[in-house]
Amino acid sequence: MTTVEQLQYSDDFVRTLPGDPRTDNQRRQVHEALYSRVEPTAVPAPELLVLVPEVAALVELESSPELVQVLAGNRIVAGMAPYAACYGGHQFGQWAGQLGDGRAITLGEVTHAGETLELQLKGAGPTPYSRTADGRAVLRSSLRELVCSEAMFHLGVPTTRALSLVTTGQPVMRDMLYDGHPANEAGAIVCRVAPSFLRFGTFELPTARDDKATLQALVDYTIGRFYPGMSVAEMFDEVAQRTAWMVCEWMRVGFVHGVMNTDNMSILGLTIDYGPYGWLEPFDLTWTPNTTDAANRRYRFGNQPTIAHWNLAQLAKALLPVCPDPEPLRRVIDQWPKQFSELYRGTMLRKLGLNGGGDTLDEDDGLLTSLGELMTTLEVDYTLFFRRLAAPERITEACYGEVTPVEHAILDRWIAGYLARAKLEGLAETERARRICEVNPIYVPRNYLVQEVIDATDRGDRAQLLQLIDVFRDPYTERAGLAHFAGKRPEWARHKVGCSMLSCSS
């Protein structure tokens, strides 16, 4: 094991790419630079709530009082090169100009066993990109990010990781619902871990400013580090494919990002920036967890593929100045909807335990179309419905409310057709059930479960958070004593703040 002082740090990002010549921490527009050097602001009374052992093991990091000080932003050790990244982005479809890391500070890069990972503190104080904000984060949003990013990893969804959660002992004023009622909340800092936090918006900003030199340096760095040997067009094609897979995996498990702005899209196809995310409970293609998006529902569950495509188009535009031939970029954009549709179709068939293709193509399309209609009609729980298909006699357990005789008849007809389709593959019942349970989790970070743990942690109960994290370490295996974590959303949570919709306030 290694102490935080003994980790092998590198500074490729700040050493390779153009940086802000100013070293003060005044809010400002930063030009011809991809980062500003800035250090975290110390907090008075840090308490380590969680150190995720699997993430610490990635760099063989051991816990210590010194580590807690680092994770709280109270200490920088030799070799670290803290900075806040400069980027822009489209927010809710509109160009927002410079955004940047307003409350995130990357401590440095850690190299271990041939892999380099960035350690980034979220909520560690103001940066030149904080605009009018304080650079801090509250416990509820920090806890939500740690729980969900780790759950997503164990679900098999591409994601950033979370190393730790520290409370600061410093209250933070927030207006949770943006309704004119601000209040003090417990402050916290989460340490995020990823190979890179580069975003689509990182590429958009220099292009919007006609700064080709900075864009070229960024593209050269990205290709050299993450897409070696590729051309710009080949890199973009790979990013598009990774993005398609990521969004398909979101849809597979029922995840709704909530704020798919271009500054929240990873150049590596990872899920980043867990803000007002939500978990689909009753099946509803129009559901969004974000109160800011309540009117237009741009980032609703069923619209995530369309938004990913739109975001990729913005990235393609940003790459045009350094791509000699724009045609390959255009071709990727034009072909992406069809490619995604085929990928998503395969994903849904996997959720049913089926292979698909060949002679069953038309039959499968009809089966999936009728499935969507069925889930909408019956108001089924998305997670439980697919899981209960392993034992169809239990399928009504996934329904909210009573199932009428007419609805029962519709459900029975669909199940009979589905089971007949499964027999075309020669699937034994045990094999079909095994496939379903491998693809469809039983435990997911339901909105109300996470809120219950936030409330308990606020009261000083530290055990419930650790239990919740442990439940999500093995989300596909149903275990005794964990029925509470596999149940449908209770009625009291239907409209409760934090359980139905959330704001971006954190």
Which are the contacts of 245, defined by CB distance < 8 A and separation ≥ 6? 158, 269, 343
Average pLDDT in the chain = 95
Q: In sequence order, what DSSP letters do the residues of 225-265 get, joined into one string?
A: HHSTT--HHHHHHHHHHHHHHHHHHHHHHTEE-S---GGGB
Does the pLDDT value for residue 351 go beyond 90?
yes
Give the 3-state secondary structure of residue 18: coil
Does the pLDDT value for residue 360 go beyond 80?
no
| Strands 88-91 and 94-98, bridge-based pairing | antiparallel
**Torsion, Cα of 292, 295, 296, 300 (10° steps):** 70
Per-residue model confidence (pLDDT) at position 241? 98
Per-residue model confidence (pLDDT) at position 504? 65
Which are the contacts of 345, defined by CB distance < 8 A and separation ≥ 6? 356, 364, 365, 368
Distances (CA, A) of 294 to 174, 288, 298, 299, 500: 20, 7, 9, 9, 11
Distances (CA, A) of 37 to 100, 132, 301: 13, 19, 37
Q: Could you report the per-residue pLDDT of 273-328, keeping only the tens digit for each?
A: 999 999 999 999 999 999 899 899 999 999 999 999 999 999 999 999 999 999 99
Q: Could you report the per-residue pLDDT of 122-170, keeping only the tens digit for each?
A: 999 999 999 888 999 999 999 999 999 999 999 999 999 999 999 999 9
What is the dihedral sign for C-alpha 447, 449, 450, 455?
positive
Per-residue model confidence (pLDDT) at position 505? 57
pLDDT category of residue 359 using cuts at 50, 70 and 90:
low
Q: Please give the backbone phi and psi of residue 34, each rounded to the nearest 5 degrees, phi first.
A: -110, 0
329 contacts 316 by C-beta, under 8 angstroms: yes
Give the 3-state secondary structure of residue 380: strand
Per-residue model confidence (pLDDT) at position 503? 67
Per-residue model confidence (pLDDT) at position 461? 96
Q: Is 455 a catalytic site residue? A: no
pLDDT category of residue 174 using cuts at 50, 70 and 90:
confident
| Strands 88-91 and 115-122, bridge-based pairing | unpaired
User: Could you give the percent of the chain with pLDDT greater than 90?
Assistant: 89
Does the pLDDT value for residue 495 go beyond 90?
no
Question: What is d(CA 205, CA 87) in angstroms, rounded to the nearest whole number?
Answer: 6
What is the dihedral sign for C-alpha 37, 39, 41, 47?
positive
Q: Please give the backbone phi and psi of residue 479, each rounded to the nearest 5 degrees, phi first.
A: -125, 150
User: Could you give the percent of the chain with pLDDT greater than 70?
Assistant: 98
Question: What is d(CA 111, CA 7) in angstroms, rounded to the nearest whole number?
Answer: 8
At CB < 8 A and 24+ separation, what contacts does 484-493 make? 485/443, 485/446, 485/449, 486/384, 486/442, 486/443, 488/281, 488/381, 488/384, 488/398, 488/400, 489/281, 489/282, 489/381, 489/400, 489/446, 489/447, 489/448, 490/448, 493/447, 493/448, 493/451
Question: What is d(CA 31, CA 505) in angstroms, rounded to the nearest whole number?
Answer: 28
Eight-class DSSP state of 136: B
Q: Could you report the per-residue pLDDT of 387-399, keeping only the tens digit for each?
A: 999 999 999 999 9
Does the pLDDT value for residue 252 go beyond 80?
yes
Does the pLDDT value for residue 501 go beyond 90?
no
Task: Count other Cβ atoms within 10 Å, centred on residue 140.
Answer: 24
Rg value, the chain, Cα: 23
Q: Please give the backbone phi and psi of residue 332, each rounded to the nearest 5 degrees, phi first.
A: -60, -45
Task: Count other Cβ atoms within 10 Å, centred on residue 168.
Answer: 28
**Residue among 20, 211, 237, 263 flagged as catalytic:** 263
Mean pLDDT, residues 12-23 taken together: 97
Question: What is d(CA 18, CA 44) in angstroms, rounded to the nearest whole number?
Answer: 34
| Amino acid at site 182 | P
pLDDT category of residue 369 using cuts at 50, 70 and 90:
very high
pLDDT category of residue 358 using cuts at 50, 70 and 90:
low
Q: Could you report the per-residue pLDDT of 70-106, keeping only the tens digit for each?
A: 999 999 999 999 999 999 999 999 999 999 999 999 9
Q: Could you report the per-residue pLDDT of 387-439, keeping only the tens digit for each?
A: 999 999 999 999 998 999 999 999 999 999 999 999 988 889 999 999 999 99
Q: Which two tokens stand for residue 238?
A: 């790979």
Per-residue model confidence (pLDDT) at position 34? 98
Rounded to two decimals, what is the model's pTM?
Answer: 0.96
384 contacts 400 by C-beta, under 8 angstroms: no
Residues 11-40: b if buried by 16+ CB within 10 A, e if exposed: eebbeebbbbeeeebeeeebeebbbbbbbb
